[in-house]
Amino acid sequence: MTRYIIRRLLALIPILLGASILIFAVMRLVPGDPARQSLGPEATGDQVAILREQWRLDEPLPVQYIAWLGRSLQGDLGRSTVSRVPVTKELATRFPATLQLTLASMAVAIVLGLFFGILSAVKYNSVLDRSSMVVAMIGICTPSFWLGLMLLLIFAVRFQWFPSSGAGGLSHLVLPAITLGAAASAIIARVTRSSMIEVFAEDYVRTARAKGLKENAVIIRHALKNALIPIITILGLEFGGLLAGSVVTETVFAYPGIGQLLINSINNRDFPIVQGALLLFSVQFVLINLLVDLLYARVDPRISYS
């Protein structure tokens, strides 16, 4: 297992290298001069030139990229062009809030997705099954910003059951978590249903029922346990997607996470923050995929990485 983990970590190097090149290139394609944006329209040409030299913007792009990559490997992602605070400090300050929201959203997605997915599989081809899948399809197609605004309008403005913005106690997480977890729960429900239906057709499930086991034991101990591989795959993808996809939800609810920081930085042309946030999302995603691969061996003893 250790050798496999080392090989996978080494294989992540070219992936992250490619992601860093893409992030750096996209930032350089954005119109506007970061030095000019930082100093404002009243700055003179000499002031802009001095700042460009300090930020090494006057050097060729390959030289800029190598310098940025070298500093990033040392944990130095630069400084915000707006607040002049180190990027790593800005991200470290905002990351706990984003992680908290992601975990809450994932809990909503897992509970709803597994419940309705298993229920639809057990009641296969019934009215309940069809209705659940229609609702799931609506959940997948519904834009998160629209759902968030509707939840705000109804539960924060109309009934005033939950706060409309900010972070704090559990009440601040309810509406953003539902907004962010709705589409993920719909996807998990559809995958769970398909996987469970396939497992229900296996001989060992029929044998378990023939032996007189209770239906709950058949569903949980035999069917669900053997249907977990595709479910774990989609859970990993959704978790990585929720971490990076919190941008819209955090903006709608004015939630002080990395997503809101990223939007504000894009509006302010704060390129170091944008580059650092995108690089962080990339690292998170590839590490989550590695964790999912390792979980396969824990769930299915037939899978071995030795």
- Note the pTM of the prediction, 2 decimals: 0.82
Q: What is the mean pLDDT of residues 224-246?
A: 80
Helix (H, G, I), strand (E, B) or coil at 281: helix
Mean confidence (pLDDT) of the chain = 82
Q: Is 201 a member of any domain?
A: yes
- Tokens representing 208 are 């378990």
In contact, 255 and 176? CB cutoff 8 Å:
yes
Q: How many domains does the chain fold into?
A: 1
Residue 281 lies in a domain: no
Mean pLDDT to the nearest integer, 163-188: 84
Amino acid (one-letter) located at 194: S
- Residue 52 placed within a domain: no
**Band of the pLDDT at 200, cuts 50, 70, 90?**
confident
272-293 pLDDT, tens digit each: 888 888 888 888 888 888 888 7
Predicted confidence at residue 203, as pLDDT, reads 79
Task: Give the pLDDT confidence score for residue 38 in this predicted structure.
Answer: 67
Q: Compute CA distances 160 → 124, 141, 148, 174, 209, whole Å.
A: 39, 27, 15, 13, 49
pLDDT range class, residue 143, cuts 50, 70, 90: confident
Residues 6+ apart with CB under 8 A from 265: 80, 82, 271, 273, 274, 277
Q: Which residue has the higher pLDDT, 31 or 88?
A: 88
* Position 206 in a domain: yes
- Is the pLDDT at 299 greater than 80? The verdict is no
% of the chain with per-residue pLDDT over 90: 1
Residue 14 lies in a domain: no
d(C-alpha 24, C-alpha 57), whole Å: 13
Q: What is the pLDDT of residue 302?
A: 65
pLDDT band at 27 (very low <50, low <70, confident <90, very high): confident
| Res 226 pLDDT > 70 | yes
230 found inside a domain: yes
Nearest to 129 by CA among 196, 210, 203: 196
Owning domain of residue 185: 90-261+293-299
The model's pLDDT over 73-129, given as tens digits with 9 standing for 90+, comes to: 888 888 887 778 888 888 898 888 888 888 999 899 999 988 888 888 888 888 888
User: Which tens digits make up the pLDDT trace of 32-59?
Assistant: 666 766 666 677 777 777 777 776 777 7
Q: Which residue has the higher pLDDT, 176 or 228?
A: 176
CATH number of domain containing 113: 1.10.3720.10
For residue 304, pLDDT over 70 is answered with no
Residue 259's CB is within 10 A of a number of other CB atoms, namely 27
Q: 43 in a domain, yes or no?
A: no
